[in-house]
């Protein structure tokens, strides 16, 4: 009997009529024994790239995955398709583990998922040598390969030891997979996993079915409520918050408002986390309010929205988190509220931690790229892809900037006023006080510091409070002002602000949309 073709298994086992994009080339390459590095966005269909060759090749395919919580789901799904799949990790009882181990040694498995720490145990590696000599090893798949990168927040030290697979099993093909595409991470994966000879398969990272929107933060909760009511009344989605406390509070608040919302963060006990995750995955219309601890590897195709109430830490983070929406290819929303307070608190958080200086510098740069994205006036799809080194023609018709083009205005003079106000007040005050000074408000603080004597006092009355806040936010986002963590969020000038103050550089800012129901008199227009 001729061995079945890839196409046949795709159809008969997985029930798909065709390969997607790069899948076929990857499957063929790995099946014929080549190493591969696969960069594919979340939802692109990475699993098939190792599952299918594991079935086509002789022996068992070993899948290394850091996501213990999700192995069960993946194995269950494969079993339903009639594939002999199992997993080995610390969650398994001793006799169940023995059983799986026996099946591995007997050649009674097509695919085995293993946690890296288990795989790396000396006796497990020796057992694999016996398997290779006996029933055979089809391949090694290294899932979530970006976990080797110490710059990413998913760093797993054990991943660095996975080169042992190459050393001890040079004849077994390896396929490393990740949805994290930026060039430094990619280089690190190649280097750390000894994949210099591997063929790289890079898919497009565009997610055309996701509509990206960044809303200016006025009252985040009410904005979220309105977003849910008008667009996602019965849909499953994820609401990301920065802190555990905010997750708990937001989930409780949504519940109070009648939404089926659950919290998820690393501070909850494992049983609650699992129960909540299970409900989110299995039931319809559950809203998961979560920190970034939630989501890696989550395979729920019909997540209709991802909302950010706080800024993610980087473009990579934003892309990953929003990428959990719309994996079924149907329209989905990535919606974020963002304001000056977020910029300040995120800068403070990143600068104040215990991390070494170099790491902080990298993290602040990553944040700056994200702020650039938030303030961008160009197509969001284009801006995201450009960050990952990919071209996009723009004009997607699927993002806020394309749907309602943003106006920009020459803000050179207001920017000079704003910067000079920072300078005259001694580079240690926050934005609320700075705006009071510009507007000429005789507040207690103004009087305490005698700021009504300054030449900048009251020179900014042509703009409203909201407009000044927009100016400051954009100046900080553009790096013309820095947040001083010693001075509790006071603003300081940067090197970049000098040419503006000297009148050598123009400043163009985006004109923020007016918050919907707020009535106020603007003297500027």
Nearest one of 333, 243, 255, 254 to 291, comparing CA atoms: 243
Select 174 or 211, whichever has its Cβ closest to Zn ion. 211
Q: Output 24 or 412, the one with its CB closest to ligand ADP.
A: 24
Q: What are phi and psi of 448, to 5 degrees?
A: -55, -40
Binds 319: which of Zn ion, ligand ADP, none (CB < 5-8 Å by kind)? none
Alpha helices in 19-61 (DSSP H): 23-31, 47-56
User: Cβ 310 to Zn ion, closest distance in Å?
Assistant: 23
**CA separation (Å) from 407 to 196, 212, 376, 423, 427?**
47, 18, 11, 29, 30
Q: Which structure tokens are listed for 254?
A: 């949504």
Whichever of 25 and 462 has its CB closer to ligand ADP, that residue is: 25
Cβ(292)–Cβ(153) below 8 Å: yes
- Beta strand 481-484 pairing with 490-493: antiparallel
Q: Select 44 or 317, whichever has its Cβ closest to ligand ADP.
A: 44
Binding mask 331-370 for Zn ion (x = CB under 5 A): ----------------------------------------
* Contacts to Zn ion from residues 382-441, by CB under 5 A: 396, 399, 402
CA angle 76, 94, 63 (to 5 degrees): 45
* Complex with ligand ADP: residue 40 or 435, whichever CB lies closer: 40
CA distance 331 to 211: 7
- Taking the alpha carbons of 75, 76, 78, 84 in that order, is the dihedral positive or negative? positive
| Residue 48 binding: pick among Zn ion, ligand ADP, none (C-beta 5-8 Å cut-off by kind) | ligand ADP
- With CB under 5 to 8 Å by kind, the binding choice for 396 among Zn ion, ligand ADP, none is Zn ion
What, of Zn ion, ligand ADP, none, does residue 16 touch, CB below 5 to 8 Å by kind?
ligand ADP
Nearer to ligand ADP by Cβ, of 70 and 290: the residue is: 70
44 binds, among ligand ADP, Zn ion, none (CB under 5 to 8 A by kind): ligand ADP
- The listed partner (ligand ADP, Zn ion, none) that binds 43, CB under 5 to 8 Å by sort, is ligand ADP
Judge residue 212's burial from the number of C-beta atoms within 10 Å of its C-beta, 0-12 exposed, 13-18 middle, 19 or more buried.
buried
Locate 8 and state its tokens: 């046949």
Which residue is listed with tokens 């996993």?
Answer: 193
Q: Which CB atom, from 207 or from 327, has the smaller least distance to ligand ADP?
A: 327
3-state secondary structure of 319: helix
Distance CA(481)–CA(213), nearest Å, equals 25
The minimum distance between CB 41 and ligand ADP, in angstroms, equals 7
Neighbouring CB atoms inside 10 A of 489's CB total 18
Minimum Å gap between C-beta 231 and Zn ion is 18
Using the minimum distance from each CB to Zn ion, give the nearer residue, 66 or 326.
326
Distance of closest approach, residue 39 Cβ to ligand ADP, in angstroms:
10
Of 11 and 103, which has the nearer Cβ to ligand ADP?
11
- Judged by beta carbon, residue 65 or residue 223, the one nearer ligand ADP is 65
Min separation Cβ 374 and Zn ion, Å = 14
Least Å distance between CB 41 and Zn ion? 17
Q: Are the C-beta atoms of residues 100 and 92 closer than 8 Å to each other? A: yes
CB of 216 to ligand ADP, least distance (A): 31
Residue 399 binds which one of Zn ion, ligand ADP, none, with CB within 5 to 8 A depending on kind?
A: Zn ion
Helix, strand or coil, per DSSP, at residue 430: coil
**Residue from 344, 379, 478, 491 in contact with Zn ion (CB under 5 A):** 379
Among ligand ADP, Zn ion, none, what binds residue 23 when CB lies within 5 to 8 Å by partner kind? ligand ADP
Closer of 346 and 396 to Zn ion (Cβ): 396
Asked if residue 116 lies in contact with residue 149, where contact means CB atoms within 8 angstroms, the answer is no
Q: Which does 402 bind (CB under 5 to 8 A by kind): Zn ion, ligand ADP, none?
A: Zn ion
35 burial via Cβ count (<10 Å: 0-12, 13-18, 19+): buried
Instruction: Give the nearest distance from C-beta 145 to ligand ADP in angstroms.
Output: 12
Contacts (CB under 5 A) with Zn ion, residues 118-177: none
Q: Which does 40 bind (CB under 5 to 8 A by kind): Zn ion, ligand ADP, none?
A: ligand ADP
Question: What residues make contact with ligand ADP under the rule CB under 6 A?
Answer: 16, 19-20, 23, 40, 42-48, 299, 301, 327
The residue behind tokens 């958080």 is: 349
Cα separation, 133 vs 59, whole angstroms: 10
φ, ψ at 36 (rounded to 5°): -145, 145
Measure the CA–CA gap between 437 and 441, rounded to whole angstroms: 6
Residue in the shown chain whose Cβ atom is closest to ligand ADP:
45
CB of 168 to ligand ADP, least distance (A): 27
Least CB distance to Zn ion at residue 319 (A): 15
In the complex with ligand ADP, which residue's Cβ is closer, 46 or 451?
Answer: 46
Question: By C-alpha distance, which of 409, 380, 425 is closest to 467?
Answer: 409
223's contact among ligand ADP, Zn ion, none, with CB below 5 to 8 A by partner kind, is none
3-class secondary-structure state, position 141: strand
Which option in Zn ion, ligand ADP, none does residue 117 bind, with CB closer than 5 to 8 A by kind?
none
Q: Are the CB atoms for 374 and 510 separated by under 8 Å?
A: no
Residue 368, number of CB atoms within 10 A of its CB = 17
How near is the Cβ of 207 to Zn ion at its closest, in Å?
Answer: 12
DSSP-derived secondary structure letter, 286: P
Closer by beta carbon to Zn ion, 87 or else 388:
388
Q: Please answer whether residues 312 and 370 qualify as being in contact, where contact means their C-beta atoms are separated by less than 8 angstroms.
A: yes
Binding residues for Zn ion, rule: CB under 5 A, are 379, 381, 396, 399, 402
């Amino acid at each position: 009997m001729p061995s079945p073709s890839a196409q046949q298994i795709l159809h008969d086992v997985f029930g798909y009529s065709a390969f997607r994009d790069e899948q076929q080339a990857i499957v063929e390459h790995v099946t014929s024994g080549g190493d591969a590095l696969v960069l594919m966005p979340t939802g692109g269909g990475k699993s098939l790239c190792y599952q299918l060759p594991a079935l086509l090749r002789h022996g068992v395919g070993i899948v290394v995955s850091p996501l213990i919580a999700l192995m069960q789901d993946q194995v269950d799904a494969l079993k339903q398709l009639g594939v002999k799949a199992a997993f080995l990790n610390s969650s398994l009882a001793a006799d169940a583990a023995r059983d799986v181990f026996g099946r591995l040694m007997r050649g009674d498995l097509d695919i085995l998922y293993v946690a890296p720490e288990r795989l790396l145990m000396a006796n497990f590696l020796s057992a694999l040598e016996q398997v290779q000599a006996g029933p055979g090893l089809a391949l090694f798949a290294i899932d979530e390969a970006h976990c080797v990168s110490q710059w990413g927040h998913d760093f797993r030290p054990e991943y660095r030891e996975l080169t042992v697979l190459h050393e001890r099993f040079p004849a077994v093909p390896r396929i490393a997979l990740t949805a994290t595409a930026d060039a430094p991470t990619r280089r690190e994966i190649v280097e750390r996993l000894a994949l210099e000879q591997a063929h790289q398969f890079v898919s497009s990272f565009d997610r055309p079915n996701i509509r990206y929107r960044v809303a200016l933060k006025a009252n985040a909760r009410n904005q979220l409520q309105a977003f849910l009511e008008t667009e996602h009344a019965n849909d499953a989605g994820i609401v990301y918050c920065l802190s555990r406390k905010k997750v708990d509070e937001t989930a409780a608040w949504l519940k109070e408002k009648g939404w089926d919302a659950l919290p998820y963060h690393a501070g909850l006990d494992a049983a609650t986390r699992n129960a909540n995750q299970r409900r989110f995955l299995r039931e319809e219309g559950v809203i998961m309010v979560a920190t970034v601890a939630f989501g890696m590897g989550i395979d729920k195709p019909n997540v209709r929205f991802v909302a950010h109430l706080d800024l993610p830490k980087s473009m990579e983070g934003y892309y990953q988190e929003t990428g959990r929406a719309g994996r079924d290819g149907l329209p989905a929303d990535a919606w974020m509220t963002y304001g000056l307070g977020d910029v300040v608190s995120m800068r403070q958080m990143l600068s104040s931690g215990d991390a070494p200086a170099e790491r902080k510098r990298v993290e602040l740069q990553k944040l700056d790229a994200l702020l650039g994205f938030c303030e961008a006036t160009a197509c969001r799809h284009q801006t995201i892809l450009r960050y990952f080194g990919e071209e996009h023609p723009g004009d997607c018709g699927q993002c806020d900037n394309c749907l309602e083009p943003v106006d920009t205005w020459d803000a050179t003079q207001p920017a000079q006023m704003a910067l000079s106000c920072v300078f005259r007040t001694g580079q240690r005050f926050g934005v609320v006080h700075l705006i009071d000074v510009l507007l000429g408000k005789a507040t207690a603080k103004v009087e305490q510091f005698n700021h009504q004597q300054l030449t900048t006092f009251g020179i900014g009355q042509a703009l409203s409070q909201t407009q000044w806040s927009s100016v400051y936010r954009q100046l900080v986002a553009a790096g013309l002002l820095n947040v001083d963590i010693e001075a509790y969020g006071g603003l300081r000038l940067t090197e970049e602000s000098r040419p503006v103050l000297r009148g050598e550089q123009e400043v163009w800012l985006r004109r923020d949309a007016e918050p919907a129901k707020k009535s106020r008199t603007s003297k500027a227009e």
